[in-house]
Structure formats: C-alpha cells, structure tokens
Structure 1
C-alpha cells in the first residue's frame, strides 16, 4: 500500500506540471554547416538538467520542439512559420545555428513577441537592435575577433595584410570592420578578395600580389576549396600565415568533400601553421556551472550520449547547453515578475499578441547572469554574450592554444601568450609580411664615363691640332690641293661627334634635352665629316671624268654649300622629329634579383630616352647617311685611277667608309645582344664612335701632316 501511495503522489506531482514549449532551429544538414545534432544533444541534456532542479521554473516542465533549417534562410523561415501557426504555443525560439538563417528568422520572430536566442550565430549584423530587437546569443559576434587580429599583427610586426572572404553578410561585415581597424592602426591592405562559389581566381590574385599574411572569412566547405587552391598555387608554408575564423570543427580539412580535388595529406600541408581566433567554449578552470555540472562532467555526459563519436557541432555544443539555461533563467525571472505585478497571468497564458509578456521576458533576458559551461554568461547592450577569446594554431598537425585575448586588459596588446605552448616559427622568427624589396636605379658607372670622356677629350685635342695645322698650312701645296675649307668641315664634324661621348647622364635625374642634343650633334657631325669627304670626291670625279674638252672648275664654296645643304636635310628631319614626337625619358625595369633564402628581392630600373615613331625618324636618318656613304663609295671607285695623291682621297675615303660600316654593324649587333647592360652599351657605343672618328681623321690628315713635315725638313 505504501508503494502505491508513493507512485500515486509522484504521478499527481508530474501531472500537475505545466508544459512550456520552445522552438528549436537546428541545421542537421546543409553544405555550409551541419552541426545541428551536436547542438540538439547538448540542448536536450540542458533541458533534462533544468527540469531536475525544483528552483528553476517551479510548476513547469520545459519542452523542446525542433526542426531542421538545413542552414538555409528560406527553409528556416518556412519551419518557423509552420510551427508558429501550429499548436502548442511556443514561448521562445532557440537558434538558429547559421547566421543567414538567424538573420531571416529574427527579423520576423519579434512580430510574434518572441525572444529568440542563438547558440552560435556570429554575424555582426545581428547586433543591430533596430533590425533584431528580440534577438540574443550566447556567443559574441565575429567582429570581436578583429581587435585580437590587430594585436597579432602588432605583436609579430606585420603591417601588410590581405583578406579573402565569402560573399555573405556574416563575413563581409567582419572584413569591413577589420579594414577600418587596420586603417586606424596605419596598417596596409595589400589585397582584398571576395568570392561567391569558386575561389580559384581570388587565390591566384593573392599569390600574384605576394600576399603573406592572409585573413580569411568563409564556411568550412569553402575553406577546404581555398586551401586546395592555395596548395596548387604554393600559397602556404613557412612564409605564409593564414588567419581564419575559429569555429570550424576539429580536423575540418579531413572531412570528405567531393568538390575538392586535393588529398587529405595535401590539405594538411596547406593548413599547417594557420592561426584561428576562437571563442572559449569550455571554462579552462573547470568551475561548476549553475547546474552543478563541471565542464569536464559535461563532456563526459555528452560523449556518452553520442557514443564518443566526433559528430558535427561537438566543439560548440557547450553553447547550446548554456543557451537553454539562459532561457530557463529568463523565464524563471518572468514568473516572479508576473507574480509581483498581480496580473493573474502565468507562463502558459502567453499568446503571440501579448506584447506586455514579450517585453517582460525581453527585459529579464537582459538581466541574465550566471556561470555556464563556457564560463560567465551575461549580455551587453546589443544582447551579445561577453567572453574571452583564445588564439589557436596548427603546429605539427596539432591544434594548440597559444594565447588568450582578454579585452579587459589595459595593456596595448591584450594577448596573454601561453608559455607551455609557444609559437613555433620556421627559423625561429615570424615570417615577414612581404618580400623585402630594395629599389635601385641603375646609372652609368662614373669611372667608365670619365675614362671614355678622357679618351674623347684626347680625340678632340687631336682634331683641334689637325684643324690648327689645316689653317696654318692652308697655303701649303699638300693642304691646298685637298680643299682646306672642306677639311675644316671634316674636323668640325669629328669634334661634334667626340662631344656626344660626354652627353650621357651619370645620375638618376635623366634629361631628355641631353638625349636630344646627342642625336643632333651626332647627325650634324656625321653630315659635316662625311658630307665633306663626299664633296671632295665628287669634285675629283667631275674634273677628271668630264667627257668634254672644256675645263670645268668647281669652287670650294660650291662644295661647302653642298655639305651644308646635306646637313640641312638632316636638320629638317631632326626638327620635325623634335616638334611632332619629342624625345621623352622613360623608366625601364630590369629583371628582378630574388634571394629566396633571405626573402628579399632587388628591383632595378634605368632611365632611357625614347620617342613615339622613333623607328621611322631613325630609319630616315640612317637612310640619308647610307645613301651618302654609298655615293661616296661609288665616287671613290670611279676616281681610283687619278694619280694626284694630294688631290685624290678616294682610297682613303673607301677605307673610311669600310671602317665606319664595319664598326657600326658590329656596334649595333653587340649593343642589341647586351640588352639593358648600361655600362657595356655605353662603353661599346663610345668605343665605336671614338674608333671610327679617330681612324677617319687620322687617315685623312696624318698623311698630309707627314708629307708637309718631310717637305719642310728637306727644304
């Protein structure tokens, strides 16, 4: 009889409890995240513990009606509407897990005067109380990790950072906030990439821009795809640091994924060394929670329920447990408020149109403050839980907690690094945020410049000596018969050509005027020197190949005008060139010199003169000089039999033409072969100019000086 009495009393007590229902939104499947089973298991454990304690919700029994949102906003809205329009009445909503679903449902749930509390939605947008006035969450939004990221950048001396994120508001808002914080901290954003489905192009862009420190924001399925592309591109290893979100499941890269064509071993190599900033999900001090269960005991209970399987959502499961307890405490305080107000209402009297009840529950949720499995649980003005962050890193294939970020610290860097798990860098030092680039402008070696200028100066002195000789002994037979006026033009041309050796910049400040002057002097000098040779030979040809018996006289002044006319033609081309397409200075890049060991590169450039349609003008000038030399060679051949040596320079002209042609062809060929080697090109060009000019003037004037000297010695 005693047993029957006890059982009857218990049954009456149980039947006397009023059932309270909350609606659960869990993602049991879906591409982005399917941690719903882990969350549901944790929530069910919490409900059992709440219902065990008489001081929580006395006279009531908490029940959970749950549905699968598939991590899809449309599906989440549908299951919420279906349940709200179906009995029994739900007092609150727990969920959703995925931020896009929480955003979609929380914009509508408050219209039913329902408080909604998520266990893991991290989108910063959910902190907007104008859009989501009745929304709470037991984890902080992802923007809280950004100050920790800035501290990491400062700690390791990284000032150049790149970002890549998936085109969801969850990640876009976090990235925008990070960009703002980086600007405030005077940090540089090297590259910011956004992708929707396939991140292949974006990963290539990061590689091409030498991204070293990369902050990523994306779901785990895209993370596998990104690191597969990073492996293919070589965007991983000791020189690259990836900084990701911390709420992925453990060993997320080992999850089979038909959309990823990399092996587990390749992905493991790519993710080695990545850093994640994560919320703390288990109190490291193992302090008993409000239910009396310690974090270690909770893990044991959870593992027993799941047969020790590593199910999705296991890592975040403490958050669902704490969420149920937060809801229970808010409801418990509401019971007391209803009693104090003498409203004759209880929790079961709630209807979706009862805004008074909804606001009472809302205010009580704001006051919730208790010890949870993850640590102290309380909410800020945006209804977001306040908590510490942990910094983890994959080291040797193992995820290790390397530091704790405490926003309440007053130090500049609010990270407490853990000595028992130090950060292990390759080489003992953190990687550089970019390849150190040394810029160098290559200029002509001053010693080479001085050496050739000295040689050119000697050549000019020699030309001046010949010019003085030509003037002083202009009445001497050997000089007079070779047209001293034309000889003067030859020597003046040689002097102008010698001057071009001096016209080269040895500093970084390149001037287009120097280039323009060099072309003018070279062209005019060549016209005068070889024009005069051509004129002399033409006069010999006219005199000695005249078929008539009439004596023909060609005066020096006629030949001078012929030379000046030829020079004028060249000047016209040069002036048109200078007016229509003036020469400008451009900077050309040389091949980079990369030092892989010390991770630096030297980028050299040099200044050069160029002009639009330059090839047409130079082609015209070369054509004119080429015709001149061909005519000179022809006339030299025609007058080769004239026996008056003092008058006929045909043989010498032939040698001069041969000398100039051979040296020019050799110089142009080798100059092209040397490419961008400024010192060698200047040396070669100057050597050709000096040799051709000196040989020409010596061939023409040394015999005359020798004959005159011998004549004077014997007379």
Structure 2
C-alpha cells in the first residue's frame, strides 16, 4: 500500500479568520491537504476525503484553486469537482503540471469522460518544457544538431536537461582548470551558456530555466481527426487539447524578475477571470422625504385621534356608558396605539434629513437607542 499526501493550496476569498487574514483586502490564503491512498479498498475513503475538501472550498467561497497532486489524484479530484459543480465561470483551477504529455484524464473514474472534460476545461498548468521554445541563434552547432535529432529519438521527458547537465559539468571542469577556482558554488553560479533547454544558469544550486504556462481547452472532434475549439456544454463529442498561453524566461541578470511572453490568449468561461475575493460595499439606504412626510402626516393624525380619545376617556371616566365600556382596557389600547404611531415616525427619521454635524450624530444615537 502506498500513501501519498498531495497538498492542495488555494487562494480563497473567505471573510472568516481561518489562517491569516488581510483585514485591508479581506482576503485569506487557505491551505488544505487531502489524504489519498492507492488501491480499490480505499476508494470510498478517497472519495469522502475529496468531497469534504471540495465542500469546504464551497462553504468558504473559494474561487481560485492552486493544486499540487499527481495525475491519478488529479483525475479523481476533477471527477468530484464535476459532481460538486466546482468549475465554470466562478472558479479557476491552476495545477503544477506534470512532466508528461499523455492524456492523464483517461484514467477510470466514477465520472463519464464528458463530465471530466467539462471540469478540466479551462484549467491552467505550469511546467518546464521538455526542450527550449526559444529560437536563439547563439546556440553552438552541437546543440542545434541535438535539437534537430531530438524529435526523432525515443527520449525521456528530461533527456534534454540531462544533455545540458553534462555540458554544465564540462563548463565546471573548464572553469576549475582554466580559472584555478576551487569554490564549487562560485563555479556553478558562473555557468552561463545556451543549451537545448534554453539559457543554462544556476542560482544557489538551483537551475534557472523556462516555465511554460498551458491551458486545457475543450475542443470538438472533427471528421479529419482535428479538434476544433470551442466545445460547448451540451456537446457530447468533446475532447481536451493543450494550448500554450505563456512562456516565462529569466532576464539577463539572475536576480531580475523573469519576463513573460504571451503565446495565446487565455480562454475564460465567462467574460473575464473569476473574482478572487468577495467585494463588500456599504450602502446607506433611507426612505424618500416625500414618503416620510406622508407617513408622518398619517401617523400624526392617528396620534392626535388617539390622544383625543385618551383624554375623552379619562375626562368622562365616571359616566355610566364609559364605565360600562371597560375604560382601563380602552386606555391601555390607546396607549399602545400612541406608542405605535410615535415609533413609526421615529423609525422613518434618518441622518439624511439633517445637516452633517456632531449634533446630528448625537441626535441619531439618542433616537436609535
């Protein structure tokens, strides 16, 4: 039994105090993990864990999901996302891509292929290209020869990186002999040449290279085996194609930010990217002055009538007919009517009826209290 614990990282627009709230922007970075165990015996537990995770995202209004999991987990995750309706114009999935160009979504799940395609459609992924996409003329001839034969060879995805690693060792050896350097870290950081995978440089022992941003787009299969974009929700012959949208390459200096080159436009489910947070707008509402005046006049008339009847009831309380009509109960009813009319007038009073002064604030606090 193999256990894997892929982390699912999300950027959430949640307003509760989950991990670390940016009170100024009302945005929370929410990190969640899901436990996935390989094997048919763990299928129900895996489905339960994924559903709980996705329901947690929905309850916290997560819109943009940055996920890091293997291809098996990805297929089942998108299957559950299709069932929970966590896809479409309100959501954007972003994955750390795989070093493979195979159709990983063909793995068997509880969903149909069309359900999976609808859920994966529009997903962005980042990965390193298996060979450089830069057509630079500064490459040595031996690199051009390798690139020309690369497509005809049965290669592993990282063969071009292994090729550049060998040449990196050659540059290290040359630098150590010719420049008489003994600090390996300095020698590695000084490596700078154009190889099969682009410009080969290192920073603190890490390779600096190109990053490719791709998008899975649903397309409709045609009779000539081509895939035409787009494929709509009600189509039943959809497939997935991978569209390269951005290429990130490092600048001349190692410490500079990478440059982003646009290759194709991103396909959004709606007219624009989904919102990454819930915008809250405070709007003060009040009734129109004409409505307030009308209600005040009607309430005033009712208040005058109630006061008149109350005074009449007290003044003639010893009269035989008044005594027979339960004067105490009548007074209680009239008192309630007067309070109701007064509250109607007070409830209609708002700050827009007065000038904006400190006295107005104090008066409104007294009325609202």
User: Is TM-score (shorter-chain normalized) higher than 0.5?
Assistant: yes
Alignment of 1:313-324 (within 5 A): 314=157, 316-324=158-166
Answer 1 or 2: which has greater strand percent: 2
Aligned partner of 1:222 among 73, 79, 86: 73
Q: Which of the pair has the greater relative contact order for Cα pairs under 8 Å at 6+ separation? A: 2
1:675-697 deviation line (CA, Å, top 9, x unaligned): xxxxxxxxxxxxxxxxxxxxxxx
2 CA distance for matches of 1:409 and 1:239?
38
Unaligned runs of 5+ in 1: 1-29, 33-99, 101-145, 147-159, 164-178, 342-358, 510-715
Aligned partner of 1:374 among 181, 191, 197: 197
Q: Which residue of 2 aligns with 1:467?
A: 313
2 CA distance for matches of 1:499 and 1:461?
7
Matched, 1:390 2:212: yes
Q: Which residue of 1 aligns with 2:275?
A: 432
Deviation at 1:254, TM superposition (A): 2.7
- In structure 2, the CA distance between the partners of 1:360 and 1:441, relative to structure 1 (3 Å rule), is closer
Matched, 1:277 2:118: no
Alignment of 1:404-553 (within 5 A): 404-405=247-248, 408=251, 416=260, 418=262, 421-434=264-277, 450=296, 453-454=299-300, 456-464=302-310, 466-467=312-313, 470=316, 474=318, 479-480=319-320, 483=323, 488-502=327-341, 503=343, 506=347
Q: Which residue of 2 aligns with 1:267?
A: 116
Q: Which residue of 1 aligns with 2:360?
A: none
Aligned partner of 2:152 among 284, 304, 322: 304
Q: What is the CA RMSD across the aligned residues, in angstroms?
A: 4.6
Deviation at 1:414, TM superposition (A): 6.7
Q: Which residue of 2 aligns with 1:691?
A: none
The alignment's TM-score, normalised by the length of structure 1, stands at 0.35
2 CA distance for matches of 1:480 and 1:335?
127
Alignment of 1:215-254 (within 5 A): 215-254=66-105
Deviation at 1:335, TM superposition (A): 5.6
Matched, 1:326 2:176: no
- In structure 2, the CA distance between the partners of 1:303 and 1:450, relative to structure 1 (3 Å rule), is same
Is the CA contact 1:253–1:267 (under 8 Å) kept in the aligned structure 2?
A: no
Q: Which residue of 1 aligns with 2:231?
A: none
1:387-410 deviation line (CA, Å, top 9, x unaligned): 343332233433223234456499
Is the CA contact 1:466–1:491 (under 8 Å) kept in the aligned structure 2?
A: no
Matched, 1:206 2:36: no
Number of aligned pairs? 300
- In structure 2, the CA distance between the partners of 1:206 and 1:422, relative to structure 1 (3 Å rule), is same
1 CA distance for matches of 2:3 and 2:165?
24
Alignment of 1:168-183 (within 5 A): none
- In structure 2, the CA distance between the partners of 1:497 and 1:301, relative to structure 1 (3 Å rule), is same
Q: Which residue of 2 aligns with 1:191?
A: 30
- In structure 2, the CA distance between the partners of 1:244 and 1:282, relative to structure 1 (3 Å rule), is same
Q: Counterpart of 1:428 in 2: which secondary structure?
A: coil
Deviation at 1:206, TM superposition (A): 1.0
2 CA distance for matches of 1:187 and 1:318?
45
Is the CA contact 1:395–1:424 (under 8 Å) kept in the aligned structure 2?
A: yes
Is the CA contact 1:162–1:215 (under 8 Å) kept in the aligned structure 2?
A: no
Unaligned runs of 5+ in 2: 14-18, 37-45, 219-239, 351-369
- In structure 2, the CA distance between the partners of 1:481 and 1:237, relative to structure 1 (3 Å rule), is closer
Is the CA contact 1:253–1:264 (under 8 Å) kept in the aligned structure 2?
A: no
The alignment's TM-score, normalised by the length of structure 2, stands at 0.63
- In structure 2, the CA distance between the partners of 1:440 and 1:335, relative to structure 1 (3 Å rule), is closer
2 CA distance for matches of 1:385 and 1:330?
14
2 CA distance for matches of 1:283 and 1:277?
15
Deviation at 1:274, TM superposition (A): 1.6
Alignment of 1:536-685 (within 5 A): none
Deviation at 1:234, TM superposition (A): 0.8
Deviation at 1:378, TM superposition (A): 1.6
Alignment of 1:8-23 (within 5 A): none
1 CA distance for matches of 2:336 and 2:329?
11
2 CA distance for matches of 1:466 and 1:267?
80
Q: Counterpart of 1:304 in 2: which secondary structure?
A: coil
Is the CA contact 1:463–1:491 (under 8 Å) kept in the aligned structure 2?
A: no
Q: Counterpart of 1:329 in 2: which secondary structure?
A: helix
2 CA distance for matches of 1:201 and 1:223?
16
2 CA distance for matches of 1:265 and 1:482?
82
Is the CA contact 2:51–2:80 (under 8 Å) kept in the aligned structure 1?
A: yes
2 CA distance for matches of 1:463 and 1:386?
91
